[in-house]
Structure 1
Amino acid sequence: MLKRCEEIMREVCGKFEVELREFNGEADHVHLLVHYPPKIALSKLINSLKGVSSRYLRAEYTGRINRIGMGSVFWSRSYFAASCGGAPLAVIRQYIEQQRRPL
């Protein structure tokens, strides 16, 4: 499901003309490193990423999602975003790559 989530999010980013540079996730959240132009409202991008991925993943993994008891909410309404303009890109990529993926 995480692999499919990444595919969906890459498609959404492409439609926004945003580059998804790194993606990883854990059982209850995902990490994305995106490069986006200043004309993009981050809240709109995130809303679209969550909305589109939720619709597709619910449709494609209905049995699995219902089995893990997610109820009517797929993603929480909150998100964390940080600017990393001063940090070396390699450091941010390494952090995301090192997150534990569920088996």
Structure 2
Amino acid sequence: MQDISQFRRGRTTISKCFYHLVLTPKYRRDVFTSAMLNDLEPLIKETCEQMGGELIEFGCEDDHLHLMLVIPPSKSASNFVGKLKGKSAHFLRKHHWDAVKKKLWGEHFWSPSYCIITCGGAPLDIVRRYVENQTKPST
């Protein structure tokens, strides 16, 4: 198991940016099968790595995905999510469309919306107190 407590180091940054991402298929239909998920997890992991991020956890129910990701501060979260959704939709259309087309109509796989929440680190009240209690310059 990887040590997720480590900071990520870039050329000019040190960061620890964790996100919980929830993606739903169009109309929140129960389209996912075990075969789809077994194929989808390595694709999402590879896509994250290509963009300098990391897939920490992958979980799913039949009508939505839960991902815990590291997104580098140099990338916009919305662009990162857009790339994940685009590549995975293309892959699912190419390899699993016969199973999917019975549940969805039209050409779109993912709902246009998603939920993304920052996670990890200290509770917000501790961070707020830490910032409040910084030593102020004397002059």
Structure 1 residue 49 and structure 2 residue 84: aligned?
yes
Tell me the distance in 2 between the aligned counterparts of 1:10 and 1:70.
27
Maintained 8 Å contact 2:71/2:80: no
Moved more, 64-73 or 11-20: 64-73
Q: Per the alignment, do residues 70 and 27 of structure 1 end up closer, same or farther by CA in structure 2, a change over 3 Å counting? A: farther
Give the counterpart of 2:55 among 3, 11, 20: 20
Moved more, 46-55 or 7-16: 7-16
| Percent identity of equivalent pairs | 39
Relative to the length of structure 1, the TM-score reads 0.78
Give the counterpart of 1:29 among 52, 59, 64: 64
Tell me the distance in 2 between the aligned counterparts of 1:18 and 1:75.
21
Structure having the higher strand fraction is 2
Q: Secondary structure at the match of 1:10?
A: helix
CA RMSD of aligned residues (A): 1.6
Runs of 4+ in 1 over 4 A off after TM superposition: none
Deviation at 1:71, TM superposition (A): 3.0
Structure having the higher helix fraction is 1
Structure 1, gaps ≥5 residues long: 89-103
Report the counterpart of residue 44 of structure 2 in structure 1.
9
Deviation at 1:87, TM superposition (A): 5.9
Deviation at 1:29, TM superposition (A): 1.1
